[in-house]
Structure formats: structure tokens, C-alpha cells
Amino acid sequence: MGYNNYDEFADGYASDNEKTPFNTLYERPAILALAGDVRGCRVLDAGCGAGGHAAALIGRAAVVTGVDLSTNMLRIARHRVGPDVALHHADLRAPLPFDDHAFDLVLSSLVMHYLPAWEPTLDEFHRLLVPHGRLVLSTRHPFADQRINGTDDYFGTYAFTDTWIRNGRRMPMRFWHRPLRAMLAAFHSTGFIVDDIAEPDPQPAMASIDPITYRRLSRTPQFIFFALTSR
């Protein structure tokens, strides 16, 4: 079994994600806040996983299309969002099966840190967006990476590994660290303007549900969030 095998762990991962406050009380509220008012917007959920964000966007009256590399994650997402939502098996490192300017908003939650290069994917997002369309994304915070990657090299771009426990099973993961300046350079070179950078606090409800994680996230960010506009 290789790294990042979401097909192998899809059911356990999806179940855990709906329980962990990292997602329900930290990442998801933050990225949806950056997305703002999506009523009537054509939204691409790029790396839709088990459909949690897609369901939330649909609940806010967006017209959602989802893509993901994991067929098992798409199966779970289909059960969650119903038969009428367009879901596609696709690799974000390759061209996507949509026309130019097909979307008003691209939302990409915790996907970019799996990619060795950001520019090809950002170029594709830019192609898919209408002029002055919006991209909101979350990724691992580069400072958080250094707690587990065993190096003091903040400024490099390199792969590192970690092991997650999901539903009682070990899940080997590989991520790509890149510094903030590399992220900003990738946005600039692919035609995006940065409107906002967010390092949000966890939701107050986490304090009683998981006080240890709440204290840690209140002092040190785990993820970083960007809101961008195509130019």
C-alpha cells in the first residue's frame, strides 16, 4: 500500500472526519466563511472527498460540481449529496473535463499540500474560472509542518511523511512542504490576486469538546487559508 491511499481508508476516514473538531469546528467553518455568499454560484469543489463541503455549499444554494481522485470517496460523496450533483473522478495534476470559464468559484480544501507543484493546478483553476472569478483554498500551514517533518528547513520545498490513525488503522501519508513565499509566488505566476490570508481561531464550541486541541489551535495554526481572484 502506498501513501495517501484514500480508496483504502475511505469509509473510516470519512466517518472520522465528521467527528473530529479539526474539520467540523476549524477547517470547514473557516473556508466556508471565505467562500461567502454562494447563492446561485457555479462552484467546483476541487478534491471534494466525502462531500462534506459540497453538501454545505449546496445547503447555501450553490450549484456544485465535485471532483476527486478517490473513487471510494466519490461513492461516499454521492450518497451524501444525492443523484443530481455532478461528481467526476479526476486528478488535479491533470487537465479537468470542463470548458473554459465554467465556474464562478473554485473551492479546494486541504488538497494543495499533496501536490509537488502548484502551478499546473492553479493554471487549470484559472482556466476554469470566469474573469475575476474566485478561488478559496486551505492547505497545511508551513509552520505546522515543521512539528513533524524532522527538519529545520522552512524555506525549502520538499516531501515529508506522517502516519495517521483512522478508524483504528494506520494510514501512511505524504505531504509537500512549501514556505509562504513559494505559495504567494505560485499565485502570482498563475494570474491570481490574493484578497485575504486567514489563520483562523477554532470555533468556541471546541473548547468543551476537545480542550487540548482547542488550546493548541488557539496558539499555533494548523492550516492556512487563501481567498484569491483571477485577473
Q: Express each pLDDT in 55-81 by its tens digit.
A: 999 999 999 999 999 999 999 999 999
* pLDDT, mean of residues 79-95: 97
Amino acid (1-letter code) at residue 73? M
By CB neighbour count within 10 A (0-12 exposed, 13-18 middle, 19+ buried), where does 106 fall?
buried
The superfamily in CATH containing domain 6-141+178-230 is Vaccinia Virus protein VP39 (3.40.50.150)
* pLDDT, mean of residues 16-35: 88
Q: What is the mean pLDDT of the chain?
A: 92
**Cα dihedral 133/107/135/101 (nearest 10):** -30
What's the rounded Cα separation, in Å, for the pair 143 and 219?
12
Using the structure block, give the residue that is written with the C-alpha cell 512539528.
147
For the chain, what are the domain ranges?
6-141+178-230
Q: What is the H or E stretch that residue 131 is in? A: strand 129-140
What's the rounded Cα separation, in Å, for the pair 111 and 108?
6
